[in-house]
Amino acid sequence: MPATGLSERAPKLDRRSVVRALLADRGELLVIAGLGAPAWDATDAGDHALTFPLWGAMGGATAIGLGLALAQPDRRVLVLTGDGEMLMGMGSLATAGVQRPHNLAVVVLDNEHYGETGMQSSHTASGIDLAAVARACGFVSSAIITKIDQVAALRADIHGAEGPLLAQIKIAADKLPLVLPPRDGTHLKNRFREALLGPKAHVQR
């Protein structure tokens, strides 16, 4: 069956504008940012103690967000990741569909390429529909987003709608200036735990 052609028809959004809009007035939202450009986008929107940017662990962002959402049912959790990263961790959508955390949102910034390693085409360029995969895995809602005026409603859903939900946002495959988060993994872990747990972050188990 030929590809849907969606990738040719759809307008492509500016990733930094999308992420800035999604993270505006983020409040207590917990954010896991997938490695590479999504982590740079999250940092461009403002380095934040309640963002855990991944420097590796490709394929692990949704699994980490799922664990966090289950451990913190009173907090909203956003996984912000790339299509390549999500494709590598696609099995975690099935686990999220089984666990059904009401507070988990996954946003895939879909540039249809593996940007970090030389812009090789990813499967979504051939029409692979991650929103449909999420639906088939039992996500409460999922959508492909192609217009900037859909982003405000998505932001509201991230903060309040019943999850798990997934949005696949079609973005331009631009190489943008790097905006890097801190590099030290221990620092990132500790500042995230302290911002989330307060003094309990230091209690030894």
Ligand X SMILES: Cc1ncc(C[n+]2csc(CCOP(=O)(O)OP(=O)(O)O)c2C)c(N)n1
Render the burial of 157-174: b for 16+ CB within 10 Å, e for the rest: bbbebebbbbbbbbbebe
Count of chain residues binding ligand X (CB under 6 A): 19
Strand 113-114 vs strand 120-121: parallel, antiparallel, or unpaired? antiparallel
Among residues 65, 82, 89, 164, the one that binds ligand X under rule CB under 6 A:
82
As a whole number of angstroms, the distance between CA 175 and CA 53 comes to 19
Among residues 58, 93, 96, 130, the one that binds ligand X under rule CB under 6 A:
58
User: Does the N-terminal peptide bond of residue 73 adopt cis geometry, omega within 30 degrees of 0?
Assistant: no
Among residues 18, 26, 36, 68, the one that binds ligand X under rule CB under 6 A:
36
Q: Quick check: 117 binds ligand X (CB under 6 A)?
A: yes
Q: Return the number of the residue (117 or 204) whose C-beta is nearest ligand X.
A: 117
Q: Least Å distance between CB 194 and ligand X?
A: 27
Q: Least Å distance between CB 27 and ligand X?
A: 25
12: Cα separation from own chain's centroid = 17
State which of positions 37-56 bind ligand X (CB under 6 A).
Answer: 37-38, 56
90: Cα separation from own chain's centroid = 13
Residue with nearest beta carbon to ligand X = 82
State which of positions 119-138 bind ligand X (CB under 6 A).
Answer: 122
User: Is the separation of the CB atoms in 157 and 151 below 8 Å?
Assistant: no
Q: Under the rule (CB under 6 A), what is the footprint of ligand X?
A: 34-38, 56, 58, 82-85, 109, 111, 113-117, 122
